[in-house]
Amino acid sequence: MIYNLALTLAQQPEVVERVLRVTRHRGFKVTEMDMHLGDNGTTRLGMVVESDRALELLSHQLNKLIDVTECEVLSAKPAATRYPQHASA
Amino acid sequence: MEQGQKIRGADAVIKALAAHGVTTVFGYPGGAIMPIYDALVGAPVEHLLSRHEQGAAFAAVGYARASGKTGVCFATSGPGATNLVTVLADALLDSVPLVAITGQVSTAVIGTDAFQEIDVLGMSLSCTKHSFMVTDVDELVPTLYRAFEIAASGRPGPVLVDIPKDIQIALLDYKAPLQAIQPEPEVESSQLDAARALIAQAQRPMLYVGGGVGMAGAVEQLRGFIDKTGMPSVATLKGLGSIAHDHPGYLGMLGMHGGKAANLAVQECDLLLVVGARFDDRVTGRLASFAEHAKVVHLDIDIAELGKLRRPDVAMAGDLRQILPALTQPLEIVPWLAEVARLKAQHAWSYDRPGDLIFAPKLLNRLAAKLPENSVVACDVGQHQMWVAQHMWFRRPEDHLSSAGLGTMGFGLPAAIGAKVARPDACVVAVSGDGSFMMNVQELTTIKRRQIPLKILLIDNQKLGMVKQWQQLFFEERFSETDLSDNPDFVTMASAFDIPGRTITQVGEVESALDELLDAKGPFLLHVRIDEAHNVWPLVPPGASNRDMMDEMEKQT
């Protein structure tokens, strides 16, 4: 599936690293990103990700990040290509 | 320090720790954290010097787990900080409240590959609940307060605060920040009603209890639930001690090395009530066949665990102290309780072993019987860890410290040190194996330094037992690098640290040796050479269903 996410982040220097690390580790591939610093101390990060996994496996983990204040799912649609899933241990 | 007087960042660190009730920190000094160590001199916060940062941090974990308070450790930049990584990961997987404070090179030279510089913030991302690098001295105190709040709230975890040296020596006005109390998530009454209905309808309900119960302070509520519902129960490695061990419906640990009765009852249940547990692979065996006919009610503080591995029929993220009483109701499950009792009797442990060699399960069972009520057992990782879980029992979850999620060899000795510092009146026993013991053996010096009256029970089978067991069972007995018969003479080694000890090899020596261990006024090492042929049984082979446990009779040579 392809998921279009809109995240609101606290403006910390490492916050994008945090989001990308969780996204990769939980088995999602980032295909597009778009980031803007707001003037109210927050950052807007638009991100398109692709995975065979259920979105909640990512969105719940992103929501747990202290500096992620909102994780909104704008759309979800089936992917044209399938990427290999992480092996389950 | 007078009101309004500026103080150094380093002094503010100590003051913030004291403000959080921290009386002991564990650590090891170095260049980039020297101002903080300077501030420790004469401070109301005691420092326990370890001989390796991993030892310090595991002591802080042991302190936290035995007391329920947040543990604190210090390390310097570079190698000091990298030596913390394993412990941070351990605390993350076992949800232990820990604040790690690291010194960092001065802000002016960060990013220049300065001496002992590593990107600690970057390194921390995958092994902490959250982390900070303080770059503004006015943010130092609010950051430390926030670190304590994050470490202990919700699902607890490790928080790292990296403090550059120039921030430590800069001056600031110390003001305690106002802290907002984060409310726990509210549970919807419709979910409670749905869960109550599923519980009421179940003919064969089982409670599957994890470490979350102890972390939530919900042991009383859980025991009240069990007493009123009569629901039979099993526990994970971290859940041990949550349920009264002598409760008739309690079947002990489930999973890969769980009891047969526990695993079979879970397989047969029609409702699994999961409380503060997370369907770990060591618990479930083949996930698709785990309790495959059961409806699932899943309760946890962390919403990310709900549905992560098993889709629940009803799930609630919230405070177990509120949810469990709301689900309590009398149940009519007499036939099921009879079946559970039959399984429990049929698969009870047997301690009858022929011969003169020492059978570790029986030794540990005797130790459990001899321990005073206020006791803590910290174990290491491997075969002895599973024998402790199977054959000992614990009054409370904080009485059993075990590296569960990460499975870190070397956990036991430093964790026991921290537990003894946290609970000086408790009898604290470190149960270790000959492999694990050597992984943080330098901490014997910490025991010597403070003459910490710790009991060390070293179970020695001259092998890296759990790995060798798997080589025997699943790698056609090709024993690769698991022979540890070149171990040092452990009692001689302990004596070099002024720790008296004794070695036993025969079953007839066990009773007097355990008494000697427990009666010793100071630290003591009891080195037990056990029957090397014995492995951990039963066992769910990798990829198998928990229904298909291997028994000793099938494979043991």
User: What is the pLDDT, as a whole number, of residue A89?
Assistant: 41
Q: Is residue B138 within 8 angstroms of chain A, CB to CB?
A: no
Domains of chain A and any CATH numbers: 2-77 (3.30.70.260)
Give the integer Cα–Cα distance in Å for B414 and B406.
16
User: What is the pLDDT, as a whole number, of residue B557?
Assistant: 42
The average pLDDT across B425-441 equals 98
Give the integer Cα–Cα distance in Å for B250 and B69.
28
Examine the residue annotation and report whether B116 is marked as an active-site residue of this protein: yes
Whether the pLDDT of residue B117 is over 90: the answer is: yes
User: What is the pLDDT, as a whole number, of residue B437?
Assistant: 98
Whether the pLDDT of residue A21 is over 80: the answer is: yes
**Residue in the structure block whose two tokens are 């607890």:** B156
**Contact assessment for residue A51 and residue A27, using Cβ atoms and an 8 Å cutoff:** yes
Give the integer Cα–Cα distance in Å for B428 and B61.
15
Examine the residue annotation and report whether B58 is marked as an active-site residue of this protein: no
φ and ψ of B386, to 5 deg? -70, -35
Domains of chain B and any CATH numbers: 7-172 (3.40.50.970), 189-346 (3.40.50.1220), 360-539 (3.40.50.970)
Residues in chain A: 89
Residues near B50 by beta carbon (within 8 Å), at least 6 away in sequence: B26, B27, B28, B56, B59, B414, B442, B443, B446
Residue A78, CB half-sphere, CA atoms under 13 Å: how many? 1
Whether the pLDDT of residue A83 is over 70: the answer is: no
Give the integer Cα–Cα distance in Å for B77 and B124.
13
Q: Is residue B281 within 8 angstroms of chain A, CB to CB?
A: yes
Q: Do B126 and A25 touch (CB under 8 A)?
A: yes
Examine the residue annotation and report whether B469 is marked as an active-site residue of this protein: no
Q: Is residue A32 within 8 angstroms of chain B, CB to CB?
A: no
**Average per-residue pLDDT in chain B?**
96
Give the integer Cα–Cα distance in Å for A84 and B143.
40
Q: Do B122 and A18 touch (CB under 8 A)?
A: no
How would DSSP label each residue in B62-101?
A: HHHHHHSSPEEEEE-TTHHHHTTHHHHHHHHHTT--EEEE
Residue type at position B117: E
Q: Which region among A72-86, B207-221, B242-256 has the lowest average model confidence (pLDDT)? A: A72-86
CA angle at B274 for the pair B271 and B279, rounded to the nearest 5°: 110
> Measured between beta carbons, which residues in chain A are less than 8 angstroms from residue B287?
88
Q: Is residue A18 within 8 angstroms of chain B, CB to CB?
A: yes
* Pick from B208, B210, B219, B186: nearest CA to B296: B208
Q: Tell me the percentage of chain B whose pLDDT exceeds 70.
A: 98
Q: Is residue B111 within 8 angstroms of chain A, CB to CB?
A: no
Q: Is residue A25 within 8 angstroms of chain B, CB to CB?
A: yes
Q: At what angle do helices A15-25 and A56-64 cross, to 10 degrees?
A: 150
> Measured between beta carbons, which residues in chain B are less than 8 angstroms from residue A63?
303-304
Whether the pLDDT of residue B555 is over 50: the answer is: no
Give the integer Cα–Cα distance in Å for B208 and B206.
6
Q: Do A21 and B126 touch (CB under 8 A)?
A: yes
> What's the pLDDT tens digit per position in B270-321?
999 999 999 999 999 999 999 999 999 999 999 999 999 999 999 999 999 9
The average pLDDT across B370-381 equals 98
> Measured between beta carbons, which residues in chain A are less than 8 angstroms from residue B150?
66
Give the integer Cα–Cα distance in Å for B159 and B38.
23
Q: Do B125 and A18 touch (CB under 8 A)?
A: yes
Q: Is residue B122 within 8 angstroms of chain A, CB to CB?
A: yes
Give the integer Cα–Cα distance in Å for B118 and B160.
14
Examine the residue annotation and report whether B115 is marked as an active-site residue of this protein: yes
CA distance A81 to chain B (A): 24
* Backbone CA torsion sign across B417, B423, B428, B433: negative
User: What is the pLDDT, as a whole number, of residue A79?
Assistant: 80
Residue B357, strand partner residues: B506
Helix (H) and strand (E) counts for chain A? 2, 4
CA B302 to chain centre: 18
The average pLDDT across B54-71 equals 98
Q: Which of B165, B238, B260, B455 is catalytic?
A: B165
